[in-house]
Amino acid sequence: MEPYIGDLFLESVHMGTLQPYIVTRRKEGVKNRTINCGLQIVRRVLNLAASEWMDEFGLTWLASAPKIKLLDQLDSRKPYPLNWDEQERVFSALPEYVREMALFAVNTGCRDQEVCNLRWQWEVGVSISEISSIFIIPGELTKNGEDRLVVLNHVARSVVERQRGKNPEFVFTYKGNSVSRIHNRAWKKAKKEAGINVRVHDLKHTFGRRLRSAGVSFEDRQDLLGHKSARITTHYSAAEILNLWEATNKVCEESRKPTLVLLRTVDGWGHEKVTKGNFLALPHIRGHFNQK
């Protein structure tokens, strides 16, 4: 933001003076969602300057905060959950350390930073049926600010066990060091090689869609995906943890159960297409069963 408003006094920062930033970024082909990230920061600073930040005389830095209106995000890219074949194509093109993180993400619904920052100290030992441990990710690292329970299915558990002993602090590392992000050059190269424009966050969408198609309840999906809810999400009984564990094991790769019924299918680059397969005849709708 500094090239556009860095030389202005706070009183001069408003939607009018922010227009050069908005116009320039749009011309550069930047999505509205990305532009809004900058606008949200400016809005936050101005609100604090008008409500909490005070000078030596007890006066706020601004008498009132101007209204910063965010842009419509109609140009946002839609989620792209992977089918099993697409997952295999992308994952097989990844180096081992990135593939392990991606495999963990698609089996737990964890976000990029939750995976990269996963620490052994967050592992909590339990003894419930076949469950030996779970992870509790602290709220300062989660999107909604609440501690998050991570229940490991068979695939995620095997990934964790392969990492055990490699680093005393971080679960996932590369050459002994922590990894800053999954979406690195290796990820970009792999999705290009696979011909699928998949984002790391689509792994979370993939996990959620597979849970839904496996008949997992909305409340259980909320807990497994780390979504905000009215429940105290780190206070579970043994029966509740067992229930979540059974639910997340329904999407293990080895089960390969029928997943989604897609009313239309879009390829990895955002183009609509018709995929060969068994079709469902509905009025004005042509659906596709993904038997993978």
Which pLDDT score, from 0 to 100, does residue 270 have? 52
Is residue 221 domain-shared with residue 111, that is, in the same domain? yes
Q: How many CB atoms lie within 10 A of CB 200?
A: 21
At residue 219, does pLDDT exceed 50? Answer: yes
CA 133 to chain centre: 23
Same domain, 189 and 237: yes
Looking from the CA of 75 toward its CB, the CA atoms found within 13 Å total 11
Q: What are phi and psi of 123, to 5 degrees?
A: -80, 130
User: Looking at the 3D structure of the chain, how many domains does it have?
Assistant: 3
Report CA torsion sign: 5, 9, 15, 20: negative
Which domain range does residue 217 map to?
A: 84-251
pTM reported for the whole predicted model: 0.69
Same domain, 93 and 208: yes
User: In the predicted model, is pLDDT for residue 283 greater than 70?
Assistant: no
pLDDT at position 234 over 90: no
Alpha carbons 51 and 29: distance in angstroms, whole number: 35
Position 91 confidence tier, pLDDT thresholds 50, 70, 90: very high
Domain boundary among 56, 76, 96: 76
Identify which has the larger pLDDT, 268 or 141. 141
Residues 110 and 199 in one domain: yes
Domain boundary among 76, 107, 130: 76
CA dist 265 and 263 (Å) reads: 7
Residue 94 and residue 69 in one domain: no
**Token representation of residue 176:** 């002994």
Answer yes or no: do 102 and 162 share one domain. yes
- Residue 254: the pLDDT is 54
| 35 and 127 part of one domain | no
111 and 95 inside one domain: yes
Check if the beta carbon of residue 211 is closer than 8 Å to that of residue 224: yes
Displacement of CA 27 from its chain's centroid (Å): 27
Residue 210 has pLDDT above 50, yes or no: yes
Same structural domain for residues 238 and 270? no
Q: What is the CATH number of the domain that holds 206?
A: 1.10.443.10
Residue 164 CA from chain centroid, whole number: 24
* 192 and 52 in a common domain: no
Last residue of a domain, one of 59, 76, 93: 76
Closest CA to 263 of 226, 289, 227, 242: 289
Segment 14-57, tens digit of pLDDT = 999 999 999 999 999 888 888 999 999 999 999 999 999 999 99
How high is the pLDDT of residue 290?
Answer: 44
Q: Dihedral, CA atoms, 209, 210, 214, 218, nearest 10 degrees?
A: -40
- The dihedrals phi and psi of 178, each to the nearest 5 degrees, come to -70, 155
Both tokens assigned to 140: 């300062």
- Whether residue 69 sits in one domain with residue 3: yes
Say whether pLDDT at 106 is over 90. Answer: yes
